[in-house]
Amino acid sequence: MRTAALLAATLAAASLLGGCASVRTLDAAKPGAPLIYAGTRLDWYELHGGCCPKERFGAEAPRHAALDLPASALLDTLLLPFAVATELGIGLGVRGGN
C-alpha cells in the first residue's frame, strides 16, 4: 500500500513538472532573461502582479504560482551550479540525447 501511494505521488509530481516555472524558463532561451533562480523569480514576479512575464523571462508564469513556488525554489537550488556556470560563461559541454 505504501509503494502504491509513493508511486501515485511521484506520478502526480511528474505530471505537474511541465507547468513548473523553472522548467519553463529553462526552455525559454530569451537573451537577457535571468538565469539564477529564474523559475523562483518568475513565480515571485507573478505573485506580486508582474505585468509581462513573457517579455521579462521568456516564459509564461504557471497558473498557480503560489503552489509552484516551493518546487521551483527546490529545482532552482539543485540547478544552481549550472546556472552560475552559464552566467559566468563557463561552457560545461552538456547536451541533450541524440
Span 34-50, pLDDT tens digits: 889 999 999 999 999 98
**pLDDT class for 19, splitting at 50, 70, 90?**
low
Phi, psi (rounded to 5 degrees) for 11: -65, -40
Q: What is the pTM of this model?
A: 0.72
Angle between helices 21-28 and 65-78 (to 10 degrees): 60
Asked whether the predicted pLDDT for residue 26 surpasses 90, the reply is no
Tell me the per-residue pLDDT of 55-96, one tens digit each, with 9 for 90 and over.
899 888 888 889 989 989 999 999 999 889 888 888 766 665
Q: Which of 79, 94, 9 is nearest to 40 (CA)?
A: 79
| pLDDT at residue number 33 | 87
